[in-house]
Structure 1
Amino acid sequence: MRLVARNIALLIVVSGILTHCYGYLVQHIQHQMRESESVMHWYGADIKERQERSAQSPDDLRELCEELGYYIKPETCRVSTLKNYPSADGSCNNLLHPSWGKAGIPLRRYLPSEYGDGIGSLHEAEGGRKLPSTRKISNTVVGNNSVLVPRLNAMAMQFGQLVDHDVGHAPIHPNMCGCETKQHCIPIEVPADDPIFRIRCIPLSRSKTVPGPECDVDKPWEQMNQITTFIDGSILYGSSASAQADLRAPGGLLRFRQNPYNESLKPFLPDDEENVQCNGRDSEFPCGKAGDKRAAVQPGQSALHTIFMRYHNQIAEQLSEMNSHWDGEQVFLETRKIVTSILQHITYNEYLPVTLGADLMREHRLTVGSGNPYRGYRSGLDPSMPNIFATAAFRMGHSQISSNMTRVNVHYKEVYDPIQLRLAFFNGSAIHDVQNGGTDSIVLGMLVEPLEKIDRFFSEDVTRFLFADPLNSFGLDLVAINTQRGRDHGLPGYKKWRTFCGLPDVSSFHELSDVMATDTIDALKKAYTHVDDIDAFIGMVVEEPIDGALVGPTVGCILGKHFYNLKFGDRFWYENPTGTVLTPNQRESIRRMTLARVICETLDDIDTIQPFVFHVADEKQGGIESFADYSATHDYPDEAGGIPGFSNARVSCKDLNTIPHLDLNPWREIKETSNCGSSKREEKKDE
């Protein structure tokens, strides 16, 4: 049966390929890239063309910037946010600066852009040197060895990608590019002696550009973040009112697809009929639709989107039953607030500590919990997405991707064949593959699959087979694309980001030994003429990790800075005691939540789980077993990546002491009643 299922998956992928000639393939892979970066068609016209027209017409430029939301009035926000729920597009989160963090505004710059012509051409080397092809850099610097991180599992990579998709997404031009460099096309030259590719180039479209924050068309090009920058569940709810409306179902629920195999089992995401790149779109294996198109990019992301959709609906049903006087709108808004708060807490209490380490968590004031009181919302802090974060630093997770995704049964035994990533891009078959455990086997597999180290070693599935036609063994190179994207965005080179983050200035390759291994430095010397030329993404991803962290010092610096802004620059942050975001008892309920509990509540067939899901399970118990209790009073991990005094042995999902459930009692309200003609207002139980 496993062989049959694997062949079915292969056939489904192949069915999306209409022909295998080079001409069509160039178009096919470019179409894949457009879908993976989810092009936004703004108002039926190309923004850059409108910018060029606006250079002669200030009125047109003003109109464009108004459409993009640059000029939202604070007084409008105060009227529209009386109920204190976040808007769908992120606007009015900051009442003094309503556009900060909203969808559709320019990416921020920590350092000024460095375009070749100072305006918009690709970033170039200083002194007139020609930068090498990014495909050549990939061939020279990147290997495909597998270096594993002790103790941690693949859930760290998968959840990190989920967070990445919740906070940033830069759209690209829809032009069908080939190997000709033109206005919106920046093809990557493939060396004549390339060991794999037998083509002239890897086609690539440029990112869309928008006027800068001051709506000045004469300044260097800026790229946009087309989604909200806040950790606000936009992966589930979308980043616009229309997208949110399309994803909603009656009663405050999110849309779903009933399980076609057994209606008593938990549902799937609704079918995404608009995602033309889903190989299973014309079969019984559709891709799922969520708030972010990238939900379908690979089965791990589809699985995590699925469980959070299920969790939203479970909470909504409980709130509706608990507060029968609430209408569907209030149920939805309150549930969205709860799920968003849980996402925020898991990100800062579980994901970031293992990624950044205890020292950076303390340095950037990112630690959450009762032992680390919240220092207050700062209305002068701009949380908008930094270009360097979205385009280089937070792409470090691409090095953590494995070629095969482990699938296990309820007893964590690998009784199912692993999923080959190269066959699974935009393919809904694995989620529906009940013969091999379906969604359950994928999520549980993340908990046992070892985590790849962030380093110069990448899986061939992303450097050779990305969005590949399996018959021709031809795909894209994600490392080359990431590096070229940095040049497209005018990112300064790695050396300047070192300085920005407080590392010593360097003038030679050997001086990089403070953060890089000798073999890495040797590879960089072969790829680049001068240390000044090292691209931002390449330099950041090959740094050796800080003790107790997964990332090097430059990535750690940039991530720490922005996650600080996301925490203290979000008016709706779950710890914020001002306003009516959450009551004290509601906040305490959120602090007790873990990703382990979400998984326990949303899979069909699960008995046990480790309390801290980003670490592999311990074999024996001994020590504190509740991660909610441990994390409230301890800094972690230690310099070796361990969690001293904590037991991570698997326990039953029914063990609510070790893995607490979400206590919804603080959301219970007393219905308004009438007594002898006088009306009594609702009162919240926990106030």
Structure 2
Amino acid sequence: MVDNALHHSKQRWRTPPHSRHGFRFHFQTESGSQEISRAGEVFHTALQVLKNRAKQKYKRNFTASELLSWENVELLAELSQCPSETNPAVCEGSHHSKYRTISGVCNNRQNPGWGSANTALVRWLPAEYEDGEGEPKGWNREWLHNGFQLPPPRSVSREIIRSSCKWTDDDYSQLLVDWGQYIDHDVTFTPQSISSAAFWTDVDCQKSCENVLPCFPIQTEDSHCMPFHRSTPDCYIRSGSDIQQALQRQQLNAITSYIDASLVYGHTPQLQSALRDLSGLNGKLAINDQFKDPHGRPYLPFVAKTPSACRTDHQGERVECFQAGDSRVNEDLTLIALHTLWLREHNRIGEILKFINDHWSPMVVYQETRKIIGALHQVCDS
């Protein structure tokens, strides 16, 4: 079911840009994250299939924890190809390293998965799902909460945004907002579902007004719907916790949760290598090989896979999406500018370090510069 919906989604994504509705990005992550996302979708879809079968047979609703033992859960996770928990023993060889791992694994050697890429976001408060396991509030539109139906989310948004007072602020500029978005991209990336088609009915989430996973459209005041689909789930919480909590839907964080400049350097070894200037043997990051600014300063490189979604002027010269450590770099011009500044700063510092320490290898120059850039991100955010 999951793979069939993904197949239909890919077919829709291949349609020519001029026939698509509006300009949109698909916020997907690296291939490793997509494999884990698929495993999570398979795991939770299988849970729903089991609950539906039990409901048909016994004519009542069930939770997955009523139907499965820990042995069942572990088998289902294995069949869904969920990744296994990282054993602290794998970190024994890294105790001499003074550099953060690119994926965040083993940065905490006793709990190697803490803060690493492709793990579930940590909850500060218990989850509150309508069915106790995975359906968000508002999924069943007729359900009552404290005796009342939930108001349409669009109406809530309009009411909160409406304000009668406006003022100027001399202490902050627009950059406060832009930096907030930028630094958020250093610590969280919850990707959307790998499919934009419903797993059960193959309905296109862009056109549906029905809540069918992963479609979760937003109703408007004129009874129309804004297309929306849910974020991808993590597979499951490791054994040792309460089984009911373990089977609740958890949201995946595809990147490291450390402030470590991962949006400059990436969060996988493959992406890290793709962003480096390996041929230059100088520890620098790769730059755009076609364009520079009027002062000769470099731009970010273009993405390797073209044509990309960033061309908006069909009459003029094609300009592809830029590539950085985080795929959301192309969301707006301010993010592109900030990413460009940090690319230039890495290469500037790396050049100075290489001049001072001519005996350093390109890897040492790169890692020492990366450590400085990571520290600057932490200082700027404090």
Q: State the TM-score, normalized to the length of structure 2.
A: 0.75
Q: 1:93 to 1:137 in 2, by over 3 A?
A: same
**88-97 vs 172-181, greater mean Cα deviation:** 172-181
Asked whether the 8 Å contact 2:192–2:232 carries over to 1, the reply is yes
1:155 corresponding residue in structure 2? 175
2:108 corresponding residue in structure 1? 94
1:280 to partner: Cα distance? 5.1
1:281 to partner: Cα distance? 9.2
Asked whether the 8 Å contact 2:28–2:191 carries over to 1, the reply is no
Q: 1:289 to 1:96 in 2, by over 3 A?
A: same
Distance in 2 (CA, whole Å) between partners of 1:110 and 1:205 is 24
Asked whether the 8 Å contact 1:281–1:287 carries over to 2, the reply is no
Residue type of the partner of 1:47?
G
Asked whether the 8 Å contact 1:35–1:277 carries over to 2, the reply is no
1:289 to partner: Cα distance? 0.8
User: Residues 322-341 of structure 1 correspond to what in structure 2 (within 5 A)?
Assistant: 322-341=356-375
Q: 1:268 to 1:280 in 2, by over 3 A?
A: farther
Query: Does residue 34 in structure 1 map to residue 22 in structure 2?
Result: no
Asked whether the 8 Å contact 1:37–1:170 carries over to 2, the reply is no
Residue type of the partner of 1:49?
V
Aligned mate of 1:278, from 303, 310, 319: 310
State the Cα deviation string for residues 329-387 of structure 1 (Å, max 9, x = none). Answer: 11111110011011111111xxxxxxxxxxxxxxxxxxxxxxxxxxxxxxxxxxxxxxx
Residue type of the partner of 1:168?
T
Residue type of the partner of 2:229?
S
User: Residues 347-496 of structure 1 correspond to what in structure 2 (within 5 A)?
Assistant: 347-348=381-382
Distance in 2 (CA, whole Å) between partners of 1:205 and 1:37 is 16
Aligned mate of 2:324, from 290, 295, 302: 290
2:92 corresponding residue in structure 1? 78
User: Residues 217-616 of structure 1 correspond to what in structure 2 (within 5 A)?
Assistant: 219-250=247-278, 251-258=282-289, 260=291, 265-274=296-305, 276-279=308-311, 283-348=317-382
Distance in 2 (CA, whole Å) between partners of 1:210 and 1:122 is 16
1:233 to partner: Cα distance? 0.5
Count residues in correspondence. 317
Aligned mate of 1:133, from 134, 152, 175: 152
Distance in 2 (CA, whole Å) between partners of 1:75 and 1:280 is 50
Distance in 2 (CA, whole Å) between partners of 1:281 and 1:237 is 30
SS at match of 1:34: coil
Computing the radius of gyration over CA atoms, which structure comes out larger, 1 or 2?
A: 1
Query: Does residue 104 in structure 1 map to residue 136 in structure 2?
Result: no
Q: 1:36 to 1:161 in 2, by over 3 A?
A: farther
Q: 1:97 to 1:64 in 2, by over 3 A?
A: farther
Residue type of the partner of 1:292?
D
Asked whether the 8 Å contact 1:51–1:61 carries over to 2, the reply is no
Distance in 1 (CA, whole Å) between partners of 2:120 and 2:291 is 43
SS at match of 2:359: coil
State the Cα deviation string for residues 646-678 of structure 1 (Å, max 9, x = none). Answer: xxxxxxxxxxxxxxxxxxxxxxxxxxxxxxxxx
Asked whether the 8 Å contact 1:280–1:286 carries over to 2, the reply is no
1:34 to partner: Cα distance? 2.9
Query: Does residue 143 in structure 1 map to residue 199 in structure 2?
Result: no
Residue type of the partner of 1:105?
T
Q: 1:290 to 1:51 in 2, by over 3 A?
A: same
State the Cα deviation string for residues 480-510 of structure 1 (Å, max 9, x = none). Answer: xxxxxxxxxxxxxxxxxxxxxxxxxxxxxxx
SS at match of 2:169: strand
1:277 to partner: Cα distance? 2.5
1:211 corresponding residue in structure 2? 235
2:38 corresponding residue in structure 1? 45
Distance in 2 (CA, whole Å) between partners of 1:291 and 1:310 is 14
Aligned mate of 1:200, from 224, 236, 253: 224
Q: 1:281 to 1:209 in 2, by over 3 A?
A: farther
Q: 1:93 to 1:65 in 2, by over 3 A?
A: farther
Q: 1:41 to 1:130 in 2, by over 3 A?
A: same
Residue type of the partner of 1:182?
V
2:196 corresponding residue in structure 1? 175
Query: Does residue 59 in structure 1 map to residue 91 in structure 2?
Result: no
SS at match of 2:342: helix
Higher strand share: 1
Q: 1:154 to 1:38 in 2, by over 3 A?
A: farther
Q: 1:85 to 1:63 in 2, by over 3 A?
A: farther
1:323 to partner: Cα distance? 1.2
SS at match of 1:222: coil
Asked whether the 8 Å contact 2:310–2:319 carries over to 1, the reply is no
- Stretches of structure 2 that go unaligned for 5 or more consecutive residues are 1-15, 48-67, 139-143, 198-204
Distance in 1 (CA, whole Å) between partners of 2:106 and 2:35 is 21
Residue type of the partner of 1:318?
I
1:211 to partner: Cα distance? 3.3
State the Cα deviation string for residues 74-131 of structure 1 (Å, max 9, x = none). Answer: 2221203422211111111111111000011111111111011111112256335221
Query: Does residue 185 in structure 1 map to residue 215 in structure 2?
Result: yes
Identity of aligned residues (%): 27
Q: 1:150 to 1:264 in 2, by over 3 A?
A: closer
Distance in 1 (CA, whole Å) between partners of 2:229 and 2:26 is 8
Asked whether the 8 Å contact 2:43–2:235 carries over to 1, the reply is no
Q: State the TM-score, normalized to the length of structure 1.
A: 0.43
Distance in 2 (CA, whole Å) between partners of 1:101 and 1:162 is 18
Residue type of the partner of 2:41?
K
State the Cα deviation string for residues 452-481 of structure 1 (Å, max 9, x = none). Answer: xxxxxxxxxxxxxxxxxxxxxxxxxxxxxx
Residue type of the partner of 2:271?
A
1:262 to partner: Cα distance? 6.0
SS at match of 1:310: helix
1:285 to partner: Cα distance? 3.1
Residue type of the partner of 2:218?
I
1:328 to partner: Cα distance? 1.0
Distance in 2 (CA, whole Å) between partners of 1:300 and 1:36 is 21
Residue type of the partner of 2:348?
Q
Distance in 2 (CA, whole Å) between partners of 1:268 and 1:205 is 33
Distance in 1 (CA, whole Å) between partners of 2:211 and 2:293 is 52
Distance in 2 (CA, whole Å) between partners of 1:286 and 1:255 is 16
Distance in 2 (CA, whole Å) between partners of 1:293 and 1:144 is 34
SS at match of 1:317: helix
State the Cα deviation string for residues 188-239 of structure 1 (Å, max 9, x = none). Answer: 01112xxxxxx71001111111234325585211111111000000110111
SS at match of 2:346: helix
Asked whether the 8 Å contact 1:273–1:281 carries over to 2, the reply is no
Distance in 2 (CA, whole Å) between partners of 1:241 and 1:144 is 47
Residue type of the partner of 1:74?
P
Asked whether the 8 Å contact 1:259–1:268 carries over to 2, the reply is no
Distance in 2 (CA, whole Å) between partners of 1:163 and 1:241 is 21
Distance in 2 (CA, whole Å) between partners of 1:150 and 1:81 is 48
